[in-house]
Structure 1
Amino acid sequence: MNSLKDIKLASLFSFTKKGKQQRKKSPVREWIDAIVFAVVVATFVRWLIFTPYKIPTPSMEKTLLVGDYLIVSKLHYGAKTPQTPLQIPLASNFIWGTKIPSYLTWIQLPVYRLPGFSEIKNNDVVVFHFPDELEFPSDGRTPYIKRCIAIPGDTLQIKEKLPYINNMAQPIPPRMQTSYLVKTQQNIKDRVFWRYDITDVQRLNGGYIIQTSEDKVKKLQELPFIDEIQELKHEAGAAEPDAFPKSEELHWNADFMGPIYIPKRGDKIAINHETLAIYKDVIKNHEHNEEVEIKGDELYIEGKLIREYTFKLDYYFMMGDNRHNSLDSRYWGFVPSDHIIGKAVFTWWSVNEHESWFNLSDKIRWDRIFKAIK
Structure 2
Amino acid sequence: MSLHDLLIIILVSLLILILPAYGLAKLFEKAGIPSWKAWVPFYNTWEIIKVAKIKKHWYFWQFIPVAGWFISIWLLVEFVKLFGRFKLLDHAAAALLSVVYFPMIGMDKKVKYLGPEAVKNHKKTTVREWIDAGVFAVVAATLIRVFVFEAYTIPTGSMEKTLLVNDFLFVSKLSYGPRIPNTPLAIPFVHHTLPITNSKSYTEVIHLPYTRWFASPVKRNDVVVFNFPAGDTLTKERDSQDPYYDMLLQAEMEQYSILRSQIPNEAQLRAVAKENAREYVWSNFTVITRPVDKRENYIKRCVAIAGDTIQIIDGYLYVNSQKAYISPTAAAEYVATVANNKLLTEEDLREAGVRLTSEANSAPDFEPTGVNTYKLNLTENELAIVKKMDGVVSVTRKVEEVGDPRIFPRDTANILWSVDNFGPLWIPKKGVTIQLTPKNIACYKRAIRVYENNTWEDRDGKIFINGQETTTYTFKMNYYWMMGDNRHRSQDSRFWGFVPEDHIVGEAWLIWMSWENGVRWNRMFRTIH
Do they superpose with TM above 0.5? Answer: yes
1:43 to 134, 138, 142: 142
Q: Partners of 2:193 and 2:490 in 1: how far apart?
A: 24
1:201 to 340, 364, 369: 364
Asked if 1:75 is matched to 2:174, the reply is yes
In 2, are the aligned partners of 1:201 and 1:208 still within 8 Å (CA)? no
The aligned residue for residue 485 of structure 2 is: 321
TM-score, normalisation: structure 2:
0.60
Q: Partners of 1:271 and 1:228 in 2: how far apart?
A: 46
The aligned residue for residue 501 of structure 2 is: 337
* Cα 1:245–1:20 shift into 2, 3 Å: closer
Q: Return the offset for 1:275.
A: 2.4
Q: Return the offset for 1:288.
A: 1.5
The aligned residue for residue 172 of structure 1 is: 326
In 2, are the aligned partners of 1:69 and 1:347 still within 8 Å (CA)? yes
Q: Greater shift after overlay, 312-321 or 262-271? A: 262-271
For residues 258-285 of structure 1, what are the alpha-carbon distances to aligned partners after superposition, in whole Å with 9 as ceiling and x for unaligned?
1111111111112221220210111121
Asked if 1:61 is matched to 2:61, the reply is no
Q: Partners of 1:194 and 1:299 in 2: how far apart?
A: 57
In 2, are the aligned partners of 1:146 and 1:328 still within 8 Å (CA)? yes
Q: Partners of 1:154 and 1:314 in 2: how far apart?
A: 11
Q: Return the offset for 1:71.
A: 1.0
Per the alignment, in what secondary structure is the counterpart of residue 84 of structure 1? coil
Alignment of 1:102-251 (within 5 A): 102-116=201-215, 118-135=216-233, 136-181=290-335, 196-199=354-357, 200-201=363-364, 206=370, 209-217=375-383, 219=385, 230-235=396-401, 238-248=402-412, 249-251=414-416
Q: Partners of 1:241 and 1:26 in 2: how far apart?
A: 65
Q: Greater shift after overlay, 189-198 or 99-108? A: 189-198
In 1, are the aligned partners of 2:328 and 2:380 still within 8 Å (CA)? no
- Which one-letter code corresponds to 1:197 in the other structure? R
Per the alignment, in what secondary structure is the counterpart of residue 356 of structure 2? coil
Q: Return the offset for 1:239.
A: 1.1
Q: Partners of 1:246 and 1:193 in 2: how far apart?
A: 39
Q: Greater shift after overlay, 326-335 or 118-127? A: 118-127
TM-score, normalisation: structure 1:
0.83
The aligned residue for residue 521 of structure 2 is: 366
In 1, are the aligned partners of 2:328 and 2:381 still within 8 Å (CA)? no
For residues 33-90 of structure 1, what are the alpha-carbon distances to aligned partners after superposition, in whole Å with 9 as ceiling and x for unaligned?
1111111010011101111111111101111111111111111111111111211111
Q: Partners of 1:49 and 1:284 in 2: how far apart?
A: 32
For residues 13-39 of structure 1, what are the alpha-carbon distances to aligned partners after superposition, in whole Å with 9 as ceiling and x for unaligned?
xxxx99985664333322221111111
Q: Return the offset for 1:189.
A: 8.5
- Which one-letter code corresponds to 1:154 in the other structure? D
Per the alignment, in what secondary structure is the counterpart of residue 273 of structure 1? coil
Q: Partners of 1:161 and 1:205 in 2: how far apart?
A: 20
Aligned-residue identity in percent: 41
In 1, are the aligned partners of 2:369 and 2:375 still within 8 Å (CA)? no
Q: Greater shift after overlay, 175-184 or 150-159? A: 175-184
Identify which of structures 1 and 2 has the higher relative contact order when contacts are C-alpha pairs closer than 8 Å and 6+ apart: 1
In 1, are the aligned partners of 2:181 and 2:293 still within 8 Å (CA)? yes
Aligned residues: 345
Q: Partners of 1:283 and 1:210 in 2: how far apart?
A: 40
Q: Partners of 1:167 and 1:131 in 2: how far apart?
A: 26
Greater strand proportion: 1
Alignment of 1:264-343 (within 5 A): 264-289=429-454, 291-295=455-459, 298-343=462-507
Q: Partners of 2:137 and 2:205 in 1: how far apart?
A: 27
- Which one-letter code corresponds to 1:102 in the other structure? S
Q: Partners of 2:219 and 2:119 in 1: how far apart?
A: 59
2:199 to 100, 104, 121: 100
Gaps of 5+ in 1: 1-16, 356-362
Per the alignment, in what secondary structure is the counterpart of residue 133 of structure 1? helix
In 2, are the aligned partners of 1:182 and 1:226 still within 8 Å (CA)? yes
In 2, are the aligned partners of 1:76 and 1:342 still within 8 Å (CA)? yes
Gaps of 5+ in 2: 1-115, 234-289, 358-362
In 2, are the aligned partners of 1:269 and 1:275 still within 8 Å (CA)? no
Q: Return the offset for 1:144.
A: 0.5
Q: Greater shift after overlay, 314-323 or 269-278? A: 269-278
Q: Return the offset for 1:106.
A: 2.4
